[in-house]
Amino acid sequence: MGSRTIGIIANPASGKDVRRLVARASVFDNREKSAIIRRALEGALNTGARNFAYLDDSHNIAGGAFGEIDGDFESTLVPCLKTSSALDTTRGALSMRDQNPIANLILGGDGTSRAFVKGWREAALLPLSTGTNNVFPILAEATIAGAALGVLACGGVSEKEVLHRAKIIDIQIEGEAEDIALIDAVVTKDQFIGSRALLNADVIERIFLTRAEPTSVGMTSVGGLVQPLSQDEDFGMYLILDNNGKIKVRAPIAPGLYENLRIKSIERVGFNESIEMIGPCILALDGEREREVQAGQAVKMSIGREGPSVLDVRKTMELAANRGFFT
């Protein structure tokens, strides 16, 4: 039976950075990530999927899951750098693209999806939360997520029906490599990338959001609790924070961690509009300090809908059920 390939990517580093300490969360251990993949595989296999490709993560998370399953399927190990940094996921995405998967199961937080998309922008994704900030990934039982991928891979639904393009922020830093963000690009007064996490609400100056979600934690909640903006609306939101800002909001900037913030202005940013600013600053992208901008260096950010496609699990399963796919 011919089924399209499903890509599988697990981020070994997700769910164990310093935010687990600042926020109220314990370490997300890699054994559980492996178990999640195993459950997703059961879902996919039971809907008829037979072809898989998985990134060779340095912790053998995906490999371990395949090793525990017997059955008639093909799994391809996709080589990956082992720098123990986001670069592994970004470069791995390029290698995964060569396998031509119809969609990719991604285990991690916002940062994991961002790293993957940085390497393969048009990828179709089903991101599952195993991170600390999980706005982009969905909360779903892995078995069902795997089943939905299986339905798609076996042609039970069409890509057009269930894949939706996500918004994306493009960032240009003068004289340096460009960057992206899927949820938020934040300008801070920090001096170092350090432990990467945004630990300090007081140094946040500006927040550029693709989505302002009152139902999520992280930077998206700062806008979301004031003026929600959904994934479906074709514009972004730009907040300028200031100690004298008139709008006060107490927002969960990390799981279990609320902070007071004062917002001076909130603006819509239309597609193809752009925001420009001059360093020095640190840019935090999708929840982590990522880029050092030097004094005098120009930064330009814009938003559009040229991001990755995301699989709608509910729609996939409902369409397939109504079509008798499972009976």
Binders of other proteins among residues 150 to 179 (CB under 8 A) are none
Segment contacting other proteins by CB under 8 A, of 171-179, 195-203, 212-220, 306-314: 195-203
- Rounded to the nearest 10°, the torsion over CA 65, 70, 72, 78 is 30
When asked if residue 264 is in the footprint of other proteins (CB under 8 A), the reply is: no
Please select the residue that binds other proteins; options are 76, 191, 265, 274, rule is CB under 8 A.
Answer: 191
Neighbours of 314 (CB within 10 A): 12
**Side-chain half-sphere exposure of 292, counting CA atoms within 13 A:** 6
Instruction: Output 189 or 323, the one with its CB closest to other proteins.
Output: 189
One-letter amino acid at 318 equals E
When asked if residue 196 is in the footprint of other proteins (CB under 8 A), the reply is: yes
Instruction: Output 25 or 144, the one with its CB closest to other proteins.
Output: 25
Please select the residue that binds other proteins; options are 225, 245, 258, 273, rule is CB under 8 A.
Answer: 258
Instruction: Output 13 or 162, the one with its CB closest to other proteins.
Output: 13
Task: Work out how close the CB of 33 gets to other proteins at its nearest, in angstroms, rounded to a whole number.
Answer: 10
Question: CA–CA distance from 271 to each of 20, 133, 166, 234 (Å)?
Answer: 35, 25, 13, 7
At 140, phi and psi to the nearest 5?
Answer: -155, 150
Instruction: Output 296 or 324, the one with its CB closest to other proteins.
Output: 296
When asked if residue 17 is in the footprint of other proteins (CB under 8 A), the reply is: yes
Please select the residue that binds other proteins; options are 36, 65, 117, 201, rule is CB under 8 A.
Answer: 201
When asked if residue 31 is in the footprint of other proteins (CB under 8 A), the reply is: yes
Binders of other proteins among residues 64 to 93 (CB under 8 A) are 83-84
Q: 233 CB contacts (<8 Å, ≥6 apart)? A: none
How far apart are the C-alpha atoms of 182 and 200, rounded to whole Å? 21
Binders of other proteins among residues 32 to 61 (CB under 8 A) are 58-59
List the structure tokens of 8.
């599988």
Task: Work out how close the CB of 19 gets to other proteins at its nearest, in angstroms, rounded to a whole number.
Answer: 9
> x/- string (CB under 8 A) for other proteins, residues 280-309?
x-----------x-x---------------
When asked if residue 249 is in the footprint of other proteins (CB under 8 A), the reply is: no
Q: 162 CB contacts (<8 Å, ≥6 apart)? A: 148, 152, 311, 312, 315, 316, 319
Segment contacting other proteins by CB under 8 A, of 29-37, 94-102, 212-220, 303-311: 29-37
Neighbours of 189 (CB within 10 A): 12
Three-class DSSP category at 32: helix
Q: 85 CB contacts (<8 Å, ≥6 apart)? A: none
List the structure tokens of 56.
């060779």
Range list of H helices, 71-189:
86-98, 110-119, 142-153, 159-162
Eight-state DSSP code of residue 217: -
> Where do contacts with other proteins occur on this chain (CB under 8 A)?
12-13, 16-18, 20-22, 25-27, 29-31, 58-59, 83-84, 189-197, 199-203, 243, 257-259, 280, 292, 294
